[in-house]
A = this chain, B = another copy of it.
Amino acid sequence: MVTIKDVAREAGVSVATISRVLNDNGYVGSDTRKKVMEAIAKLNYSPNEVARSLYKRESRLIGLLLPDITNPFFPQLARGVEDELSRSGFRLLLGNSDENVQKELDYIQTFVQNNVVGIISATNHVDYKIYDALKLPLVLLDRTSEDYPAVYSDGREGGRLAARTLIEKGAKRITLVKGPAHVKPAQDRFQGAIEELSQADIDFSVLSSTSYSFEEAQGWAEELFEKFSDTDGVIASNDIVGIAIIHEALKLGKKIPEDLQIIGYDDIPQSSLCYPTLSTIRQPAYEMGRQAAQLLIKMVKKEQGIEHTIQMPVELVERNTTRKE
């Protein structure tokens, strides 16, 4: 390992001088600077971030906590975060919590132990106490909060929009699939849908799905048609479930969207690749990730007048599981 001392020796100056040119502060004579630059290049030196971090008590690392990167909504978020972060030279320490408080605690702890300069958390099973004790800038992602800065999309409006769309397009016996109770955004969209549905002259039923995993989605879909076989409009708790429902409906010989309309939530990439393509409420996941990263960076830099929460708009994406006019 080549250290600052080696560079100092090579350039014939002190380590203090090397540090000055590295960080571009303090006075350095132009010929001295040149010598130093040459030595750095010659030895192919790059400073040890760990030593830096120890002294300054802060690294260039940011902790990102996700429920599960394997759920197709999150890679987009993660990518948005990373792209924005790396523009400012920050790197990502990644953890999957599986909505498990213990794992969440463990990750938060190692983030702190590694001097991360801030944390972005997209978990739902949040134990507030963890975060209250934290001295670090924190941004909640895909999650509303009055207590902490947060970036999320308008779930209630999304739910309303989904319901309104199905109503307008003539569905008469709507089934609303509710997501897991502990997942806050799932509840928001559910409430929004209920609201809209309640105001309309329309029959509807609620099916409760308690997870979002691929494996179980098919189970919910089967259950849905067993319990509500005559439904002609389904508001899915998210796109994964929506796609599973398409699948199951076709298996049962239903015509989409003639017999049955389906609307999903999220607009994950595969929603435009399934058949028929899934109409859905789009959350701008990548953009949400970017915004969260931007917000966090501002907090880290202690900029003034930072937004406390950023609500992103949702949007109806009409594809082929809903009727054209």
Contacts and interface: CB of A to CB of B under 8 A. Distances in A.
Contact of A244 (B107, B110, B240, B273): B273
B273 A72 contact: no
Interface in A238-280: 240, 243-244, 246-247, 250, 269-270, 272-275, 277
Interface stretch (A18-26, A35-43, A45-53, A184-192): A45-53
Interface of A: 1, 46-51, 53-54, 57, 59-61, 68-70, 72, 74-76, 78-79, 82, 91-96, 107, 109-110, 112-115, 214, 217-218, 240, 243-244, 246-247, 250, 269-270, 272-275, 277
A270 B243 contact: yes
30 contacts: A46-B113, A49-B110, A49-B113, A50-B54, A50-B59, A51-B54, A54-B54, A60-B110, A61-B114, A69-B69, A69-B79, A69-B82, A70-B75, A70-B79, A70-B269, A72-B75, A74-B75, A91-B110, A93-B93, A94-B94, A214-B270, A214-B272, A243-B270, A243-B273, A246-B275, A247-B274, A247-B275, A270-B270, A273-B274, A275-B275
Contacts of A115: 48-50
B76 A70 contact: yes
A156 to B, nearest CB: 27
Given A49-B113, A270-B273, 7 more contacts: A47-B113, A54-B54, A61-B114, A72-B75, A82-B94, A91-B110, A247-B277
Nearest to A58: B50
Nearest to A106: B86
Contacts of A51: 54
A131 B228 CA distance: 58
Nearest to A89: B110
Nearest to A53: B50
3 tightest A-B CB contacts, nearest first: A49-B113, A214-B269, A94-B94
A4 to B, nearest CB: 13
The residue in A61, A75, A217 that gathers the most chain B C-beta atoms within 10 A of its C-beta is A75
Given A59-B50, A75-B75, A217 B110 contact: no
B48 A113 contact: yes
B272 A274 contact: no
A224 B10 CA distance: 61
A69 B92 CA distance: 13
Nearest to A63: B91
Nearest to A44: B133
Contacts of A46: 109, 112-113
Contacts of A82: 69, 94-96
Contacts of A69: 69, 75, 78-79, 82
A250 B275 contact: yes
Contacts of A275: 246-247, 250, 274-275
Nearest to A113: B49
Nearest to A221: B273
The residue in A61, A95, A214, A269 that gathers the most chain B C-beta atoms within 10 A of its C-beta is A269
A310 B74 CA distance: 29
